[in-house]
Amino acid sequence: MKNPYLQFALRISIIYAIFGVLWLTLSDYLIHLLADNQEQMMRVYTYRGWFFIAITSFLLYFILHRDLQVRERSEKALRESEDKYRTVFETTGSATMIVEEDTIISLANAEFEKLFGYTKKELEGKKSLIELVIEDDLEKLKEYHRVRMIYPNAVPSNYELRLIDKQGKVKDVLVTVAMIPWTKKRVVSLWDITERKQLDNALKKQHDHLDELVKERTAELRQEIIERKRAEQELKYRFEFEKLITTISTKFINLAPSEIDIGIENALGEIGQFANMDRCYVILFSEKRTKLNNIYEWCADGIEPQMVKLQGISIDDLPWLMGKLYRLENISCFRVIDLPPEAYAERELLLDQNVKSMVAVPLIYGKLLLGFLGFQAVRAEKNWSGEIIALLKIVGEIVANALEHKWAEQTLRESEERYRGMVDLSPEAIAVLSEGKIVFVNNTAAKLTGLNSLGDMIGKPLLEYVHQDYRKIANEQAWQALEKGRTTPFIEMRWIRNDETVRDVEAAVVPLTLSGKPAVQVVVRDITERKQLEQEMARLDRLNLVGEMAAGIAHEVRNPMTTVRGFLQLFRGKKEFAQSREYLDMMINELDMANSIISEYLALAKNKAVNLEVQSLNSIIEALFPLVQADAMLADKYVQIELGDIPDLFLDKKEINQLMLNFVRNGLEAMSAGGCLTIRTFLDDEAVVLAVQDQGRGMEPEVLNKLGTPFFTTKDNGTGLGMAVCYSIAARHKATINVQTSPQGTTFFVRFKCV
């Protein structure tokens, strides 16, 4: 019991109890000893009570007087002590405060105010120590406070804490806590160690940094030594490997195509033995590039060959491998079992061959992937460095070049044999030109030219055999092939034979390379007989058209004439016309003469020839334009021309005039007053197009379907022969006629093939 007032009360109570017990015991003894009768005994009992009161009063006075003197001295000493300790509290040199049980600051000295920027009025009785602690240290403070209230010595009295001053600045402080005896209060002293902490942290960081530097440098030196030794070994290994590759490359340079297969197998063996590999192989695409075949293989002693198993593997079965090869990536795998999930098929195939590690480099020639060169480790896992893989890639390039050289030789041999056979047997004349001179011709070319020896044409310009009217076109063809690398289509021209006779031909030019230089191959077809046949067919077509016209004329003219002639003959046989028989005979003769004239006209039309010459379609239109414009002006209509840049064509001027006039007059008749007719020429997909566009009402579908049918007409006074003539003229010019019609007008397109 530490309360002094309770201790004083307890002491008085104990003394009073002891004295009372002693008094009662002794007084009873003395009363029985001294009293002789009952009356004396009652008197003594009365005196005993008063005496007890007097004695106890005296004792209480004495005890209280003594205690009050002691208390006065104690309070004086306490005041002196408080003054002393307050002086010490204020001048201790540290920020000191007294913290209550509920962590409220009840007292703080001037150093505390100075350290944290708060005044005593702001602190004492108002601020809690918890409010000054940062969040990260709050739980530690609360735990120490809780435990100290129960077990004061169970938590450290000195520890570090981070507090926040009035300006919000965090300060590191050293905290010393002491409990005030007989109270729940604590004296808390704080020393600002922020600068010391910063210095300690800086020193620690510097020390740690130096330690780290020493460790790093030591490790670097150790690693440098290891790397240097490894680099020396790798350099030596690389040098020997490069030397081996150089030797292999030199051997391939001197190999004949027939020795390349053996050379590749020997190279695989040398590399496999040097690099301590278990299996080296070359896998190539099939001819259609859909399958893979193991063509070459070398295996170390005790390693089972796999060449027979690796034949006809579909590229679709190895998507991961093919994806990397198509991207021209090297493939290196230290552990086959660790291949990614997308390489499941490849992993199973390799594991089936007991392969533990593998590397593959693509075989590339130019930009074409030929296959890949593979190396495998079967007995133990093996890792290949990037430099070694780069050297293996060089080996792949050597193998690819050797294979391409072999294939090129084979292809060239086969190609030469096929080409020579085809060229010699070709029904077309073929000539190869280099720098404008003939360097090769086949038998057909010599036959076309009328020469017995092929050597008579070698070294001469091909233009010597081209008719002068077509030399410009021939030069343009050769220029397109040489400069643009484009094969030109067949065009018609004329060929001069050795006996100066002329043949109709068509020629095309194909670009090619000869001994590393640009050259052209000219293919010439003799179309003289075909032209003659075409002319005959054209003549027959014209006869057919005229036949249709004749049938129409017979229907339109000859039938009425026959009727008239029949009635005249009937009248001639009657008696009442006997006196006019002479006139009737004359009329019959005249009708026969008219019929004869018509027959002669039709016979003349059948024999009409077509005269095609190279000339300008634009020039024909420009020459015809004034006549067309005059017809239009008479009908209060307009004609305009839009002529594009087009090449010359094979044309019959009279027939083109007839074609133009038929289209123009049909267009003018289809338009109302004020309408405009447009004539255009332009190039469209290597064809020259003549377009005649009117602004009429268009044509009905049933009319469009019968367009070109002889004697079909929508005009009151028409014969129905105009469009038939246009189609016939187009056919003779190997042209086509297309029609576009709408309520806004009709456009006729005549497409001529370019020369």
- Of residues 403, 391, 398, the one with CA closest to residue 274: 391
- Of residues 244, 294, 520, the one with CA closest to residue 395: 244
Q: 112-121, 534-543, 574-583: lowest mean pLDDT where?
A: 534-543
**Taking 60 as the threshold, does the pLDDT of residue 104 lie above it?**
yes
- At 416 the pLDDT is 67
Q: Compute φ and ψ for 520, nearest 5 degrees.
A: -135, 150
* 356-382: average pLDDT: 89
One domain for residues 260 and 353: yes
pTM, whole model, 2 decimals?
A: 0.34
**Taking 80 as the threshold, does the pLDDT of residue 608 lie above it?**
no
Top mean-pLDDT range of 247-256, 348-357, 594-603:
348-357
User: Which pair of tokens denotes residue 515?
Assistant: 């001994």
Q: 76-80, 508-512, 659-663: lowest mean pLDDT where?
A: 76-80
Q: Backbone dihedral region of 714: left (phi > 0), alpha (psi from -120 to 50 degrees) or beta?
A: alpha
Using the 3D structure, point to which of 587, 606, 625 is the last residue of a domain: 606
Quick check: is 650 in a domain?
yes
**Taking 90 as the threshold, does the pLDDT of residue 545 lie above it?**
no
Written as one string, the DSSP assignment of 628-650 is HHHHHHHTT-EEEEEE-----EE
- Number of structural domains found in the chain: 6
* 366-394: average pLDDT: 86
User: How big is the chain, counted in residues?
Assistant: 755
- Of residues 68, 110, 65, the one with CA closest to residue 87: 110
**Taking 80 as the threshold, does the pLDDT of residue 341 lie above it?**
yes
Q: What percent of the chain has a predicted confidence (pLDDT) above 70? A: 83
| CA 514/CA 589 separation, integer angstroms | 79
- At 86 the pLDDT is 65
Q: Backbone dihedral region of 269: left (phi > 0), alpha (psi from -120 to 50 degrees) or beta?
A: alpha
Mean pLDDT across the chain: 81
One domain for residues 668 and 568: no
Q: Which residues pair with 360 in a beta bridge?
A: 331, 374
One domain for residues 288 and 321: yes
Using the 3D structure, point to which of 52, 69, 87 is the last residue of a domain: 87
One domain for residues 152 and 266: no
**CB-based contacts of 10, cutoff 8 Å, min separation 6:** 1
- At 603 the pLDDT is 36
Q: Compute φ and ψ for 327, nearest 5 degrees.
A: -85, 5
User: Which pair of tokens denotes residue 299?
Assistant: 């295996």
Q: Compute φ and ψ for 462, nearest 5 degrees.
A: -65, -25
Quick check: is 62 in a domain?
yes
608 DSSP 8-state letter: P
- 109-143: b (≥16 Cβ within 10 Å) or e: bebbbebbebebeebbeebebeebbeeeeeeebee
- At 299 the pLDDT is 93
**Taking 70 as the threshold, does the pLDDT of residue 717 lie above it?**
no
Host domain of residue 29: 4-87
Band of residue 36 on the pLDDT scale cut at 50, 70, 90: low
Per residue in 616-632, pLDDT (tens digit) is: 999 999 988 988 888 88
One domain for residues 57 and 142: no
- At 600 the pLDDT is 39
Q: Compare 40 and 100 and report the one with higher pLDDT.
A: 100
**Residue reference for tokens 């094969």:** 487
C-beta neighbour count of 590 within 10 angstroms: 12
**CB-based contacts of 436, cutoff 8 Å, min separation 6:** 461, 462
Q: Compare 242 and 619 and report the one with higher pLDDT.
A: 619
Quick check: is 693 in a domain?
yes
C-beta neighbour count of 739 within 10 angstroms: 13
Q: 468-472, 567-571, 649-653, 667-671: lowest mean pLDDT where?
A: 567-571
| CA 492/CA 754 separation, integer angstroms | 10
One domain for residues 621 and 737: yes
Q: What percent of the chain has a predicted confidence (pLDDT) above 90? A: 16
Q: In what order do the strands lie in the sheet with 95-99?
A: 105-108, 95-99, 186-192, 170-179, 158-164
Which amino acid, one-letter code, is at 283?
Answer: I
* 503-509: average pLDDT: 89
| CA 272/CA 269 separation, integer angstroms | 5
**Residue reference for tokens 């150790």:** 222
* 263-289: average pLDDT: 89
158 burial (CB, 10 Å; 0-12 / 13-18 / 19+) is: exposed
What percentage of the chain's residues is helix, strand, coil (to nearest 5)? Answer: 55, 20, 25
- At 604 the pLDDT is 34
C-beta neighbour count of 424 within 10 angstroms: 11
418 burial (CB, 10 Å; 0-12 / 13-18 / 19+) is: exposed
User: Which pair of tokens denotes residue 465?
Assistant: 């055999």
Quick check: is 714 in a domain?
yes
679 contacts 692 by C-beta, under 8 angstroms: yes
One domain for residues 643 and 501: no
Quick check: is 201 in a domain?
no
**Taking 60 as the threshold, does the pLDDT of residue 586 lie above it?**
yes
User: Which pair of tokens denotes residue 473?
Assistant: 């076109």
Written as one string, the DSSP assignment of 480-508 is HHHHH--PPPPEEEEEE-TTS-EEEEEEE
Q: Report the CATH number that the domain containing residue 640 is assigned in CATH.
A: 3.30.565.10
One domain for residues 599 and 620: no
Q: 215-229, 502-516, 542-556, 718-732: lowest mean pLDDT where?
A: 542-556
Angle between helices 581-606 and 528-553 (to 10 degrees): 150
Q: Compute φ and ψ for 80, nearest 5 degrees.
A: -65, -40
Band of residue 1 on the pLDDT scale cut at 50, 70, 90: very low
Radius of gyration of the chain (CA): 64
**Taking 50 as the threshold, does the pLDDT of residue 605 lie above it?**
no
Using the 3D structure, point to which of 606, 624, 657 is the last residue of a domain: 606
152 contacts 179 by C-beta, under 8 angstroms: yes
User: Which pair of tokens denotes residue 105?
Assistant: 């600051």
- Is 136 strand, coil or helix? helix
C-beta neighbour count of 717 within 10 angstroms: 5
- Of residues 295, 312, 284, the one with CA closest to residue 368: 284
Q: 157-161, 235-239, 595-599, 622-626: lowest mean pLDDT where?
A: 595-599
Per residue in 62-75, pLDDT (tens digit) is: 776 777 676 677 66
Quick check: is 227 in a domain?
no
Quick check: is 686 in a domain?
yes
Per residue in 453-499, pLDDT (tens digit) is: 878 888 888 888 888 888 888 888 888 888 888 888 888 888 898 88
- At 606 the pLDDT is 39
One domain for residues 444 and 584: no
Q: Compare 674 and 608 and report the one with higher pLDDT.
A: 674
* 294-314: average pLDDT: 91
Per residue in 735-744, pLDDT (tens digit) is: 888 889 998 9
- Of residues 719, 685, 410, the one with CA closest to residue 548: 719
**CB-based contacts of 617, cutoff 8 Å, min separation 6:** 646, 648, 649, 651, 656, 681, 688, 690, 752
Quick check: is 207 in a domain?
no
- At 607 the pLDDT is 42
One domain for residues 698 and 734: yes
Band of residue 204 on the pLDDT scale cut at 50, 70, 90: confident
Written as one string, the DSSP assignment of 326-384 is HTT--EEES-GGG--GGGHHHHHHHHHTT--EEEEEEEEETTEEEEEEEEEE-SS----
Q: Report the CATH number that the domain containing residue 120 is assigned in CATH.
A: 3.30.450.20
**Taking 60 as the threshold, does the pLDDT of residue 539 lie above it?**
no
- At 677 the pLDDT is 94
* 210-239: average pLDDT: 82
One domain for residues 262 and 402: yes
- Of residues 484, 483, 479, 534, the one with CA closest to residue 506: 534
Top mean-pLDDT range of 398-412, 433-447, 591-605:
433-447
One domain for residues 440 and 375: no
**Taking 70 as the threshold, does the pLDDT of residue 511 lie above it?**
yes
Q: Compare 299 and 233 and report the one with higher pLDDT.
A: 299
Written as one string, the DSSP assignment of 546-567 is HHHHHHHHIIIIIHHHHHHHHH
